[in-house]
């Protein structure tokens, strides 16, 4: 089966996941995480990609980003991966691949899913039972998005999306509204939708959003029916 072409359109947010090879660690200490964030800032600036949310887990990374031009996310991730792998191999005197093949990504419907995906990303350490609340995990964008206070690294890295800005007329109201989003849990069905769309390179949005992306890309955006159409003449004839 031919590999689906990754969707990477200007102005449309993307949820990106990159995992360590064989689910092994891609961060071995805090200095590695500092390095990754610094290189992410450089690459995102170079390729005009806005970073809205992130989390650095032990063996994978989640990003919520918007490219300024088509193909920007792919170029950013390629550049970031090359520089970071060189740093890791040199620092730890290792060789070989660090990442598990291509990164995964999905286009995100801003109106329906953007803030949910941002929560999904920042709640990763909670779902992994590493902390009880996302504010306790230092390697995510939660503190910036929820309080407006972060390290010098995250302050200069995170750029608010229009969906985030719509939470309130001032920063104090926006951060309060954002924190309130974490009072409830993300439904299991929604978690499954986010995972499937990202891992299988579909789109995450309603029918109108899918139709618009289909119009722009002319690419299949959802799974084919299982087993084919049993009522069609082509299926009965084995075509």
Residue 209, domain member (yes or no): yes
DSSP string over 26-61: S--SHHHHHHHHHHHHHHHHHTTEEEEEEEE-SSEE
Tell which wins on pLDDT, 228 or 195: 195
Residue 2 belongs to some domain of the structure: no
Whole-prediction pTM: 0.89
Place of tokens 């206070």: 149
Tens digits of per-residue pLDDT, 6-35? Answer: 788 999 999 999 999 988 999 999 999 999
5 within some domain: no
Task: Please indicate, yes or no, if residue 1 is contained in any of the structural domains.
Answer: no
Query: What is the tens place of the pLDDT at every residue in 74-108?
Result: 999 999 999 999 999 999 999 888 998 889 999 99
CA 14, chain centre distance (Å): 6
Strands 14-19 and 49-56: unpaired
The span from the CA of 151 to the CA of 198, in Å, is 29
Q: What is the pLDDT of residue 226?
A: 58
The CATH number linked to 161 is 3.30.70.1290
CA–CA distance, 10 with 182 (Å, rounded to integer): 29
Residue 142 has pLDDT above 70, yes or no: yes
Q: What is the mean pLDDT of residues 159-170?
A: 96
Instruction: Give the model's pLDDT for residue 211.
Output: 87
pLDDT for res 235: 36
Which range is least confidently modeled, 52-61, 133-142, 216-225?
A: 216-225
The pLDDT value given to residue 187: 95
Res 151: pLDDT = 55
Question: Mean per-residue pLDDT for 210-227?
Answer: 74
Residue 186 domain boundaries? 14-222
- The answer to the question of residue 227 being in a domain is no
How many independent structural domains does the chain possess? 1
Confidence band (pLDDT; 50, 70, 90) for 222? low
* The pLDDT of residue 3: 60
Q: Give a yes or no: residue 22 inside a domain.
A: yes
């Amino acid at each position: 089966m031919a590999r689906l072409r990754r969707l990477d359109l200007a102005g449309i947010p993307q949820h990106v996941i990159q995992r360590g090879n064989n689910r092994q660690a891609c961060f071995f200490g805090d200095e590695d995480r500092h390095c990754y964030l610094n290189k992410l800032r450089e690459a995102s600036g170079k390729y005009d990609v806005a970073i809205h949310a992130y989390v650095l887990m032990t063996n994978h990374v989640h990003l919520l980003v918007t490219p300024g031009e088509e193909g920007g996310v792919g170029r950013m991730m390629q550049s970031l991966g090359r520089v970071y792998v060189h740093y890791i191999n040199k620092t730890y005197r290792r060789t070989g691949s660090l990442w598990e093949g291509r990164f995964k990504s999905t286009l995100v419907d801003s109106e329906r899913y953007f803030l949910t995906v941002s929560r999904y990303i920042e709640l990763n350490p909670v779902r992994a039972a590493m902390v009880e609340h996302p504010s306790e995990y230092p390697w995510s964008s939660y503190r910036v998005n929820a309080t407006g206070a972060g390290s010098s690294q995250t302050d200069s890295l995170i750029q608010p999306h229009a969906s985030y800005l719509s939470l309130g007329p001032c920063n104090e109201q926006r951060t309060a509204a954002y924190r309130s989003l974490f009072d409830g849990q993300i439904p299991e069905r929604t978690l499954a939708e986010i995972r499937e769309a990202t891992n299988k390179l579909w789109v995450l949005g309603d029918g109108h959003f899918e139709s618009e992306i289909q119009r722009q890309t002319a690419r299949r955006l959802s799974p084919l029916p299982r087993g084919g159409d049993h009522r069609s003449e082509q299926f009965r004839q084995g075509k």
